[in-house]
Structure 1
């Protein structure tokens, strides 16, 4: 449907950067986070930045690939909506976990985030195998983040 690569690449890249920057701005690794007991398998702090950079890059590739393969404007709009919802849920998790300091509520929200990534994998896979494969690391990472979030609750709760 879409013959031009430039606009979707720019839009997807800016959206990925916007979500990443907003999430990073909300994420506070200060005294509260440092004081939390974390499981021994918690990745080192720099791993999170590397992982999210890769995930957001792959998500932008998936978005462009799916959008370009979309057979109609309705499908294109659905793709944009699913990625927008996912970006919102991604930032919301950081807000709940780090700013509100509620890992318990963040875990509940993370289940919605995980479902949104799963929906992206399935929906995008209908139109682009590349997109579906590119989103799998995101699903794996959110699964790991969920296990880590749960362990933080177990080791430090109750909250609030």
Structure 2
């Protein structure tokens, strides 16, 4: 079964709804796992970075991301259940796939490549992708779109934090 067909449940039945939410949850969980693998806040490079006073403690990021990932899975599954046009469904799934890829890529750019500038570009692209995902979601499901607002807001906060780190560490790429 292809990814798009997992989201084709018109009219929604219990099994098809479960498959749709299962697929979005699996995609989001894979994103979270792929990103988490790259995070290393206990290395010398990261500890040496000059960070702003307003940066949350490391433990706060997991605490915030867990419910945000849940809202992404919910909003995507809920929205996909309302999209009847196959082209719009494909466009939404593509937008979601780009968004989740950019989401996971940030930690690899920042922590594995140790390149805050590349990570800043990545998070700006993620912000643009969030705007696209919100727009596509709001067209068919305003309630689901509202559940994505905290995710988009947190990503904007992350962009500001990343930009602050870039400004404070102009030569901190290894």
Query: Please, what TM-score do these two structures have when normalized by structure 1?
Result: 0.95
Quote how far apart the aligned CAs of 1:158 are: 2.4
Q: Does 1:27 align with 2:36?
A: no
Q: Does 1:104 align with 2:117?
A: yes
Aligned residues: CA RMSD: 1.1
Query: Please, what TM-score do these two structures have when normalized by structure 2?
Result: 0.88
Match of 1:14 among 16, 26, 37: 26
Greater mean deviation of Cα atoms: 143-152 or 23-32: 23-32
Which structure has the greater CA radius of gyration?
2
8 Å Cα contact 1:104-1:159 kept in structure 2:
no
Q: Does 1:79 align with 2:92?
A: yes
Q: Cα–Cα, structure 1 residues 99 and 15, in superposed 2: closer, same or farther, change >3 Å?
A: same
How many corresponding residue pairs?
160
Quote how far apart the aligned CAs of 1:2 are: 4.1
Quote how far apart the aligned CAs of 1:159 are: 3.7
1:32-51 mapped onto 2 (5 Å cutoff) = 32-51=45-64
8 Å Cα contact 1:26-1:98 kept in structure 2:
yes
Q: Does 1:114 align with 2:123?
A: no
Quote how far apart the aligned CAs of 1:103 are: 0.3
Quote how far apart the aligned CAs of 1:34 are: 1.7
Quote how far apart the aligned CAs of 1:147 are: 0.6
8 Å Cα contact 1:28-1:98 kept in structure 2:
yes
Q: Does the residue aligned with 1:69 lie in a helix, a strand or coil? A: coil
Match of 1:131 in 2: 144
8 Å Cα contact 1:58-1:134 kept in structure 2:
yes
Match of 1:56 in 2: 69
8 Å Cα contact 1:55-1:138 kept in structure 2:
yes
Quote how far apart the aligned CAs of 1:30 are: 2.3
Unaligned runs of 5+ in 2: 1-9
